[in-house]
Structure 1
């Protein structure tokens, strides 16, 4: 693995192995600190850097891969195993019933026709693992002979004894290890590691894909036409409809697809000769208008306070009222808020360019 790699490569790999999947911005920041190069302007250098790591990891059946978390649209990088055999399964810390429980949750989420991308906690804990036990043990009996069609498949004792408390413990472990995620409302969703590791599994199990990026549409929006099966990720919709003249219709059946894009995110094409609606054109003016509004409102409030103090002072002492009058202050600290962290429209394209397709059977 050390062939052709520099200490900088080793630092990145070690960080991904020890800390788990990293957001793209965090990996870019680490890359810039180590190489003094900006991955945004030196994209070819960054791609070559990732490619060198993957060439070294190939001999160990590992791959540095990127994915998009379909719930927040953020790009993540992580190291995954590209093969699944009996030897590699021995390296997992999860027991057979725990793995079966995880697979049952994944199947329940991807088989949801609404494409909401989650299952509630109660539903997850009450999933029946008998079908998973049948898949894991196959259709063979204890003597190695194939069971007859009329016989009932035998469920291992480990699955029968896998009680509710063990499921709860397993669920928390899967969330801690980023295989699953848990919302504040108690919904169970796929974790970043699942998006990184299960790409080939999604395809082999014919999980419906996004019309734009062709990746599995776990969390996506559906076409309004009930006879149309098109689903598109939210961040892909932003990319699709970001052009000013782009018609907001289903790319397959042409049904109207209501989708609101903030004006700051519209992109002007080469065909557009009119004024652009980009963030550069509206951002500074918008901030100024907002700042002026806040300052004016504050001045009005302060003037009212002054009049009230003078009225009270007239009843007692004018000098004491003037002393009690507080000066007006503008909320400059509140005006300068954090800028929006929108996802780049080219994230899906960069994702395919950096990573290679996995041949791992799941």
Structure 2
């Protein structure tokens, strides 16, 4: 028998099939689900509203249903344009194991190694070249051929786990940053940068160049902030129009040759020294080296995150609203020690 609870079921099926969606598309899917259930039984009264308050209440309801199975309908903003994105996220266990349905164990290890090289990239670049990406194939046990590695690497990009730029640099995609956020924060605490404005992870944005200043902002947050402010939100240094006052975070900070000849790795947490010191390994196609996690970093409180995130969202909605070009279809019947230089 059709009931109002079927709206939740249809909505979750639609999200599962799409993995990551914009907030506008998610609202449209919700509306379509309500219409589908009403079409089956026109006597049902199912409230729907596209207001922000109604949407937030719907998300709370969805997460209450997902909580017993340790899933969350989580969201974050696109670092470049600020668009709000949603995805179902596993909040328990090794989040990278979510890929096990699509990839073999050795391919998952390859993906973990790529994440490590991206997170440990020097100069806060959070990206690697194709040379560095394929270099990791030689460090796998059991081994993988270079041809197989190229196929798997392309698959990571095609399925949205990695992003490749026009310049040929590989970085973590929005999907990976959202779905694997717990894994990234627990495994690479000292490599995590947080936006000074919204407190979310930053792998692409702008940094204040004042010595010892920790201000890092997403590209979108920086653009919104600069419309109304002329000084660094942390050290209060006047930025003005002088480009030397700020420096890029992400691919813009990449220096030619920074990842050639060596791979960045760490001593194994088990069997290595107690502090898990970093080691740099000369690249040799015959060599086999593995990397494991180590260390910790204090994090902001949840209330601080929510407060600043809400403020940034409200400010950005006043000055910037992106059109969503996606069309909605009817829903289907380990800890680390910093390696920064």
TM over 0.5: yes
Residues 256 and 113 of structure 1: is their aligned pair in 2 closer, same or farther, counting only changes over 3 Å?
A: farther
- In structure 1, the residue matched to 2:233 is 251
Q: Quote how far apart the aligned CAs of 1:221 are.
A: 0.9
1:86-101 aligned within 5 A: 91-101=100-110
- In structure 2, the residue matched to 1:20 is 19
Output one character per residue of 1:41-84: Cα deviation in whole Å (capped at 9) or x when no partner: x2221112111111111222211111223244322111122212
> Is 1:125 matched with 2:110?
no
Find the structure with the greater CA-based Rg: 1
1:1-362 aligned within 5 A: 6-35=5-34, 37-39=48-50, 42-84=51-93, 91-127=100-136, 130=139, 156=141, 158=142, 161-204=143-186, 205-206=188-189, 207-243=192-228, 246=229, 248-258=230-240, 346=313
Q: Quote how far apart the aligned CAs of 1:128 are.
A: 6.6
Q: Provide the C-alpha distance between the structure 2 equivalents of 1:190 and 1:347, rounded to a whole number of angstroms.
A: 27
SS of corresponding position for 1:170? helix
TM-score, normalised to structure 2, is: 0.59
> Mind listing any 5+ residue stretches in structure 2 that lack a counterpart?
36-47, 243-310, 318-334, 336-341
Residues 78 and 5 of structure 1: is their aligned pair in 2 closer, same or farther, counting only changes over 3 Å?
A: farther
> Mind listing any 5+ residue stretches in structure 1 that lack a counterpart?
134-155, 261-343, 351-360
Q: Provide the C-alpha distance between the structure 2 equivalents of 1:176 and 1:67, rounded to a whole number of angstroms.
A: 21
Output one character per residue of 1:162-221: Cα deviation in whole Å (capped at 9) or x when no partner: 222122111122112211122333221212321112222333222121211122221121
What CA RMSD, in Å, does the superposition of the two structures yield over aligned residues? 3.2
TM-score, normalised to structure 1, is: 0.56
- In structure 2, the residue matched to 1:326 is none
The answer to whether the 8 Å contact 1:209/1:216 transfers is: yes
Q: Provide the C-alpha distance between the structure 1 equivalents of 2:99 and 2:203, rounded to a whole number of angstroms.
A: 29
Mean Cα deviation higher: 23-32 or 108-117: 108-117
Q: Provide the C-alpha distance between the structure 1 equivalents of 2:225 and 2:105, rounded to a whole number of angstroms.
A: 42
Aligned residues: 232
The answer to whether the 8 Å contact 2:137/2:149 transfers is: no
